[in-house]
Structure 1
Protein backbone atom coordinates (compact mmCIF):
# COMPACT_ATOMS: atom_id res chain seq x y z
CA UNK A 1 0.00 0.00 0.00
CA UNK A 2 1.43 3.30 -0.96
CA UNK A 3 1.35 6.52 0.97
CA UNK A 4 -1.12 8.20 -1.41
CA UNK A 5 -3.88 5.69 -0.74
CA UNK A 6 -3.32 6.07 3.06
CA UNK A 7 -3.78 9.84 2.78
CA UNK A 8 -6.92 9.32 0.67
CA UNK A 9 -8.42 6.92 3.24
CA UNK A 10 -7.47 9.30 6.07
CA UNK A 11 -9.04 12.28 4.26
CA UNK A 12 -12.20 10.31 3.56
CA UNK A 13 -12.43 9.18 7.22
CA UNK A 14 -11.98 12.79 8.43
CA UNK A 15 -14.70 13.98 6.05
CA UNK A 16 -17.12 11.32 7.33
CA UNK A 17 -16.30 12.13 10.96
CA UNK A 18 -16.75 15.86 10.33
CA UNK A 19 -20.10 15.23 8.58
CA UNK A 20 -21.36 13.05 11.44
CA UNK A 21 -20.15 15.42 14.18
CA UNK A 22 -21.49 18.57 12.49
CA UNK A 23 -24.79 18.75 14.51
CA UNK A 24 -22.83 18.81 17.77
CA UNK A 25 -21.04 22.00 16.77
CA UNK A 26 -24.15 24.03 15.89
CA UNK A 27 -25.45 26.09 18.81
CA UNK A 28 -28.91 26.53 17.22
CA UNK A 29 -29.39 22.79 17.21
CA UNK A 30 -28.78 22.66 20.96
CA UNK A 31 -31.56 25.21 21.46
CA UNK A 32 -33.82 23.37 19.02
CA UNK A 33 -35.57 20.96 21.41
CA UNK A 34 -36.44 23.73 23.89
CA UNK A 35 -37.74 26.00 21.14
CA UNK A 36 -39.61 23.12 19.54
CA UNK A 37 -41.20 22.22 22.87
CA UNK A 38 -42.25 25.84 23.46
CA UNK A 39 -43.86 25.99 20.01
CA UNK A 40 -45.68 22.70 20.60
CA UNK A 41 -46.93 23.93 23.98
CA UNK A 42 -48.16 27.17 22.41
CA UNK A 43 -49.92 25.30 19.59
CA UNK A 44 -51.47 22.88 22.09
CA UNK A 45 -52.82 25.80 24.14
CA UNK A 46 -54.11 27.50 20.99
CA UNK A 47 -55.85 24.30 19.91
CA UNK A 48 -57.44 23.87 23.35
CA UNK A 49 -58.66 27.48 23.32
CA UNK A 50 -60.14 27.09 19.83
CA UNK A 51 -61.98 23.96 20.98
CA UNK A 52 -63.25 25.78 24.06
CA UNK A 53 -64.40 28.68 21.88
CA UNK A 54 -66.39 26.24 19.72
CA UNK A 55 -67.95 24.69 22.84
CA UNK A 56 -69.00 28.10 24.16
CA UNK A 57 -70.49 29.06 20.79
CA UNK A 58 -72.39 25.76 20.67
CA UNK A 59 -73.65 26.28 24.23
CA UNK A 60 -74.78 29.84 23.44
CA UNK A 61 -76.57 28.72 20.31
CA UNK A 62 -78.28 25.91 22.20
CA UNK A 63 -79.23 28.26 25.04
CA UNK A 64 -80.81 30.71 22.58
CA UNK A 65 -82.68 27.86 20.91
CA UNK A 66 -83.93 26.51 24.24
CA UNK A 67 -85.09 29.99 25.24
CA UNK A 68 -86.96 30.38 21.95
CA UNK A 69 -88.73 27.07 22.59
CA UNK A 70 -89.50 28.00 26.18
CA UNK A 71 -87.56 25.08 27.65
CA UNK A 72 -85.79 27.17 30.28
CA UNK A 73 -87.28 29.65 32.75
CA UNK A 74 -87.22 33.25 31.53
CA UNK A 75 -85.47 34.42 34.70
CA UNK A 76 -82.58 31.96 34.25
CA UNK A 77 -81.84 32.80 30.61
CA UNK A 78 -80.11 36.22 31.06
CA UNK A 79 -77.79 34.99 33.82
CA UNK A 80 -76.76 31.88 31.86
CA UNK A 81 -76.24 33.89 28.67
CA UNK A 82 -74.08 36.50 30.42
CA UNK A 83 -72.02 33.76 32.04
CA UNK A 84 -71.39 32.05 28.69
CA UNK A 85 -70.64 35.39 26.99
CA UNK A 86 -68.05 36.22 29.65
CA UNK A 87 -66.45 32.80 29.30
CA UNK A 88 -66.35 33.14 25.50
CA UNK A 89 -64.92 36.65 25.67
CA UNK A 90 -62.15 35.47 28.02
CA UNK A 91 -61.27 32.66 25.63
CA UNK A 92 -61.15 35.10 22.70
CA UNK A 93 -58.89 37.46 24.64
CA UNK A 94 -56.50 34.59 25.43
CA UNK A 95 -56.47 33.62 21.76
CA UNK A 96 -55.68 37.22 20.84
CA UNK A 97 -52.71 37.20 23.21
CA UNK A 98 -51.38 33.88 21.92
CA UNK A 99 -51.77 34.81 18.27
CA UNK A 100 -50.59 38.37 18.97
CA UNK A 101 -53.50 39.84 17.01
CA UNK A 102 -54.23 43.53 16.96
CA UNK A 103 -58.01 43.75 17.10
CA UNK A 104 -60.22 46.79 16.79
CA UNK A 105 -63.45 45.17 18.03
CA UNK A 106 -63.98 44.02 21.58
CA UNK A 107 -64.09 40.30 22.28
CA UNK A 108 -67.78 40.56 23.22
CA UNK A 109 -68.67 42.14 19.86
CA UNK A 110 -66.73 39.51 17.94
CA UNK A 111 -68.43 36.76 19.97
CA UNK A 112 -71.89 38.19 19.18
CA UNK A 113 -70.91 38.37 15.49
CA UNK A 114 -69.82 34.71 15.56
CA UNK A 115 -73.13 33.73 17.18
CA UNK A 116 -75.08 35.68 14.56
CA UNK A 117 -73.10 34.00 11.77
CA UNK A 118 -73.79 30.56 13.22
CA UNK A 119 -77.48 31.38 13.57
CA UNK A 120 -77.60 32.49 9.92
CA UNK A 121 -75.83 29.28 8.84
CA UNK A 122 -78.27 27.17 10.84
CA UNK A 123 -81.27 28.96 9.34
CA UNK A 124 -79.82 28.65 5.85
CA UNK A 125 -79.25 24.91 6.35
CA UNK A 126 -82.78 24.43 7.69
CA UNK A 127 -84.17 26.43 4.75
CA UNK A 128 -82.13 24.36 2.30
CA UNK A 129 -83.54 21.17 3.78
CA UNK A 130 -87.06 22.50 3.23
CA UNK A 131 -88.36 21.25 6.56
CA UNK A 132 -88.27 22.36 10.14
CA UNK A 133 -86.88 19.09 11.44
CA UNK A 134 -86.51 20.33 14.99
CA UNK A 135 -90.06 21.68 15.03
CA UNK A 136 -91.44 18.37 13.80
CA UNK A 137 -89.52 16.48 16.46
CA UNK A 138 -90.65 18.90 19.16
CA UNK A 139 -94.29 18.43 18.05
CA UNK A 140 -93.96 14.66 18.20
CA UNK A 141 -92.44 14.85 21.67
CA UNK A 142 -95.26 17.10 22.88
CA UNK A 143 -97.87 14.71 21.45
CA UNK A 144 -96.28 11.74 23.21
CA UNK A 145 -96.11 13.64 26.49
CA UNK A 146 -99.80 14.50 26.27
CA UNK A 147 -100.60 10.86 25.53
CA UNK A 148 -98.57 9.68 28.51
CA UNK A 149 -100.29 12.14 30.80
CA UNK A 150 -103.52 10.26 30.12
CA UNK A 151 -104.67 8.64 33.36
CA UNK A 152 -105.04 4.90 33.74
CA UNK A 153 -108.58 3.60 33.70
CA UNK A 154 -108.01 0.17 35.14
CA UNK A 155 -105.86 -2.90 35.16
CA UNK A 156 -105.46 -5.92 32.91
CA UNK A 157 -107.53 -8.85 34.15
CA UNK A 158 -104.82 -11.32 33.17
CA UNK A 159 -101.51 -9.70 34.30
CA UNK A 160 -102.57 -6.66 36.39
CA UNK A 161 -100.68 -4.09 34.31
CA UNK A 162 -102.24 -0.57 34.36
CA UNK A 163 -104.25 0.29 31.23
CA UNK A 164 -104.80 3.60 29.46
CA UNK A 165 -108.14 4.80 28.17
CA UNK A 166 -107.06 4.38 24.53
CA UNK A 167 -105.63 0.84 24.96
CA UNK A 168 -107.38 -1.93 23.04
CA UNK A 169 -104.85 -4.56 24.11
CA UNK A 170 -102.76 -4.90 27.26
CA UNK A 171 -99.33 -3.37 26.51
CA UNK A 172 -97.62 -6.02 28.65
CA UNK A 173 -99.29 -9.33 27.86
CA UNK A 174 -101.37 -8.48 24.73
CA UNK A 175 -104.74 -9.62 26.09
CA UNK A 176 -107.69 -8.09 24.20
CA UNK A 177 -109.70 -5.70 26.33
Structure 2
Protein backbone atom coordinates (compact mmCIF):
# COMPACT_ATOMS: atom_id res chain seq x y z
CA UNK A 1 0.00 0.00 0.00
CA UNK A 2 1.11 3.55 -0.58
CA UNK A 3 1.49 6.24 2.05
CA UNK A 4 -1.90 7.62 0.95
CA UNK A 5 -3.48 4.54 2.52
CA UNK A 6 -1.90 5.14 5.93
CA UNK A 7 -4.53 6.44 8.35
CA UNK A 8 -2.62 6.25 11.64
CA UNK A 9 1.06 6.57 12.43
CA UNK A 10 2.58 6.57 15.89
CA UNK A 11 6.32 7.29 15.74
CA UNK A 12 8.88 6.80 18.50
CA UNK A 13 6.33 6.97 21.33
CA UNK A 14 8.03 7.12 24.73
CA UNK A 15 6.03 7.28 27.97
CA UNK A 16 7.50 7.22 31.43
CA UNK A 17 6.02 7.14 34.91
CA UNK A 18 8.75 8.52 37.14
CA UNK A 19 11.76 6.23 36.68
CA UNK A 20 9.70 3.53 34.89
CA UNK A 21 9.77 3.57 31.09
CA UNK A 22 6.39 2.12 30.07
CA UNK A 23 6.86 2.71 26.34
CA UNK A 24 10.23 2.95 24.64
CA UNK A 25 10.31 4.05 21.00
CA UNK A 26 7.05 2.40 19.91
CA UNK A 27 6.12 2.68 16.24
CA UNK A 28 2.73 1.74 14.79
CA UNK A 29 1.35 2.20 11.28
CA UNK A 30 -2.22 1.38 10.35
CA UNK A 31 -3.30 1.26 6.73
CA UNK A 32 -6.87 1.89 5.62
CA UNK A 33 -8.90 -1.32 5.94
CA UNK A 34 -6.48 -3.06 8.28
CA UNK A 35 -7.40 -4.49 11.66
CA UNK A 36 -4.71 -4.71 14.31
CA UNK A 37 -4.56 -6.55 17.61
CA UNK A 38 -2.06 -5.45 20.22
CA UNK A 39 -1.03 -8.42 22.31
CA UNK A 40 1.39 -8.83 25.16
CA UNK A 41 1.88 -9.73 28.77
CA UNK A 42 0.44 -7.72 31.64
CA UNK A 43 2.47 -4.56 32.01
CA UNK A 44 3.80 -4.67 28.45
CA UNK A 45 2.36 -1.22 27.63
CA UNK A 46 -0.71 -2.07 25.53
CA UNK A 47 -3.12 0.08 27.53
CA UNK A 48 -0.53 2.82 27.94
CA UNK A 49 -0.12 3.04 24.17
CA UNK A 50 -3.90 3.28 23.66
CA UNK A 51 -4.14 5.86 26.45
CA UNK A 52 -1.52 7.96 24.65
CA UNK A 53 -3.45 7.64 21.39
CA UNK A 54 -6.79 8.55 22.97
CA UNK A 55 -5.66 11.57 24.98
CA UNK A 56 -5.97 9.93 28.41
CA UNK A 57 -2.27 10.77 28.65
CA UNK A 58 -2.31 14.22 27.06
CA UNK A 59 0.08 15.61 24.51
CA UNK A 60 3.22 16.69 26.30
CA UNK A 61 3.13 13.86 28.84
CA UNK A 62 4.87 11.56 26.32
CA UNK A 63 7.30 12.04 23.47
CA UNK A 64 6.92 11.02 19.85
CA UNK A 65 4.38 11.91 17.20
CA UNK A 66 0.91 10.73 16.29
CA UNK A 67 -0.54 11.39 12.84
CA UNK A 68 -4.16 10.53 12.02
CA UNK A 69 -5.61 11.04 8.55
CA UNK A 70 -2.55 13.14 7.63
CA UNK A 71 -2.88 15.52 10.59
CA UNK A 72 -0.50 15.60 13.55
CA UNK A 73 -2.50 14.91 16.72
CA UNK A 74 -1.86 16.68 19.98
CA UNK A 75 -4.80 15.38 21.99
CA UNK A 76 -5.23 16.80 25.47
CA UNK A 77 -8.45 14.91 26.32
CA UNK A 78 -10.50 11.90 25.26
CA UNK A 79 -13.01 14.32 23.73
CA UNK A 80 -10.27 15.64 21.42
CA UNK A 81 -9.50 12.18 20.02
CA UNK A 82 -13.19 11.23 19.78
CA UNK A 83 -13.85 14.41 17.78
CA UNK A 84 -11.37 13.06 15.20
CA UNK A 85 -13.02 9.62 15.21
CA UNK A 86 -10.63 7.76 17.54
CA UNK A 87 -12.54 5.81 20.17
CA UNK A 88 -10.90 3.15 22.31
CA UNK A 89 -12.97 0.12 23.31
CA UNK A 90 -11.41 -1.52 26.33
CA UNK A 91 -11.57 -5.20 27.18
CA UNK A 92 -13.34 -4.30 30.42
CA UNK A 93 -16.86 -3.33 29.45
CA UNK A 94 -18.17 0.03 30.67
CA UNK A 95 -21.89 -0.68 30.45
CA UNK A 96 -24.57 -0.33 33.10
CA UNK A 97 -26.35 -3.70 33.42
CA UNK A 98 -29.62 -2.14 34.60
CA UNK A 99 -29.96 0.26 31.66
CA UNK A 100 -31.20 -0.62 28.19
CA UNK A 101 -28.95 -1.04 25.18
CA UNK A 102 -30.14 2.34 23.83
CA UNK A 103 -29.54 4.07 27.16
CA UNK A 104 -26.02 2.62 27.34
CA UNK A 105 -25.19 3.64 23.78
CA UNK A 106 -26.14 7.27 24.36
CA UNK A 107 -25.27 7.74 28.04
CA UNK A 108 -23.47 11.06 28.26
CA UNK A 109 -24.45 11.76 24.65
CA UNK A 110 -28.24 11.81 25.06
CA UNK A 111 -30.51 12.56 22.14
CA UNK A 112 -32.16 15.58 23.78
CA UNK A 113 -33.46 19.03 23.05
CA UNK A 114 -34.14 21.59 25.74
CA UNK A 115 -33.01 19.11 28.38
CA UNK A 116 -35.67 16.55 27.42
CA UNK A 117 -34.54 13.19 26.04
CA UNK A 118 -36.26 12.17 22.82
CA UNK A 119 -36.73 8.45 23.48
CA UNK A 120 -38.14 7.70 20.02
CA UNK A 121 -35.06 9.24 18.41
CA UNK A 122 -32.79 7.46 20.91
CA UNK A 123 -34.33 4.06 20.13
CA UNK A 124 -34.31 4.67 16.36
CA UNK A 125 -30.65 5.73 16.29
CA UNK A 126 -29.71 2.85 18.58
CA UNK A 127 -31.50 0.42 16.23
CA UNK A 128 -29.52 1.82 13.27
CA UNK A 129 -26.24 1.41 15.15
CA UNK A 130 -27.14 -2.12 16.26
CA UNK A 131 -27.89 -3.04 12.66
CA UNK A 132 -24.57 -1.57 11.58
CA UNK A 133 -22.63 -3.76 14.03
CA UNK A 134 -24.71 -6.85 13.22
CA UNK A 135 -26.58 -7.09 16.52
CA UNK A 136 -30.29 -7.87 15.99
CA UNK A 137 -31.45 -6.84 19.46
CA UNK A 138 -34.26 -4.60 20.61
CA UNK A 139 -32.76 -1.29 21.82
CA UNK A 140 -34.95 -1.56 24.96
CA UNK A 141 -33.28 -4.83 26.03
CA UNK A 142 -31.43 -4.53 29.33
CA UNK A 143 -27.67 -5.10 29.16
CA UNK A 144 -27.93 -7.76 31.91
CA UNK A 145 -30.14 -9.81 29.56
CA UNK A 146 -27.54 -10.21 26.81
CA UNK A 147 -24.24 -12.11 26.75
CA UNK A 148 -20.74 -10.67 26.89
CA UNK A 149 -20.19 -11.00 23.13
CA UNK A 150 -23.30 -8.95 22.45
CA UNK A 151 -22.25 -6.46 25.12
CA UNK A 152 -18.98 -5.96 23.25
CA UNK A 153 -20.98 -5.16 20.11
CA UNK A 154 -22.97 -2.62 22.15
CA UNK A 155 -19.63 -1.02 23.13
CA UNK A 156 -18.72 -0.80 19.43
CA UNK A 157 -22.13 0.74 18.64
CA UNK A 158 -21.54 3.21 21.49
CA UNK A 159 -18.17 4.15 19.97
CA UNK A 160 -19.77 4.59 16.55
CA UNK A 161 -22.47 6.83 18.04
CA UNK A 162 -19.77 9.31 19.02
CA UNK A 163 -18.41 9.45 15.48
CA UNK A 164 -21.44 9.14 13.21
CA UNK A 165 -24.65 10.95 12.75
CA UNK A 166 -27.00 8.03 12.25
Q: The TM-score by the shorter chain falls in which range?
A: under 0.3
Which structure dedicates a bigger proportion of its chain to helix?
A: 1
TM-score by length of 2: 0.19
Larger radius of gyration: 1
Using the size of structure 1 for normalisation, the TM-score is: 0.18
Between structures 1 and 2, the one with greater strand share: 2
